[in-house]
Structure 1
């Protein structure tokens, strides 16, 4: 006899009370493909749909406390998915990029930039010192050694979604520490 399948709302309550990732990962596994398909239907681009799906789940994860069960979790999730995709599409239509050549870059930069850069680098170094060695290793695999998510997941014997979430949380920790240290 198999164990009964937990309802989405029960998984959310269990995650919020215990903060055990397995509950959120179950939700991710249930809905990641559906969210991807929704994103793809709006963007017609699999790379954007994949990025948006990841971003949506990060947003959902950080806003789980805002889920008040006025609708089903799937309805809430699809609403977030649709709104996120539409925001990204609108933003993409507004933004234009300008290429700056090397000669122009030298005209724009001034001497105080190197001092400011040095201060920022020192602040970033202090922020990075607040994360664990394991978090540093995973960041290095991704950003210095340019390994993809699947390879990192294989090395750590994790699911892709777990690696993405760990990288996101680590980046958030560093950003929060960096911002905090800049404002001291």
Structure 2
């Protein structure tokens, strides 16, 4: 069987073209190129959820195995990278929720941030002490962690978050607002 591995300038092939080739010929050569482009990014996303190098490596492997089978579901309605981030975030959140008892502790809300109607400014979140914030991020619900990472680690706009999560912009704003309140509750409990 002849393979479609002509000497193509791989750097000039867009992600979308690569996905199309992978889906057309089901060829691991092209998937390897896609893997090389995104493995590091996916690994660090997984690591931000688990904090365990071994578990992040396992999650990255599992994501790419599943991704090979799921590439046919990419419809090109957004950039491939946006679709992939959504895929990775959802995979990690599902993994974390399956192992919820291992990663989350029950907490009682503090009085300061119990009112979710009050707005918490981004500057307040950005000025939190890093070590305490890391502890709070380990305890927070995976779905809240996901949206906070999108906003503050990946610098996603509300539009990017809504596209990635496939929800409306007002729903994205509300989820972010709730997640900010929850991280402040945990932060104050730890601090």
TM-score, length-scaled by structure 1: 0.48
User: Larger RCO: Structure 1 or Structure 2 (Cα < 8 Å, ≥ 6 residues apart)?
Assistant: 2
TM-score, length-scaled by structure 2: 0.47
When you count helix as a share of all residues, which structure comes out higher? 1
Mark the structure with the bigger radius of gyration. Answer: 1
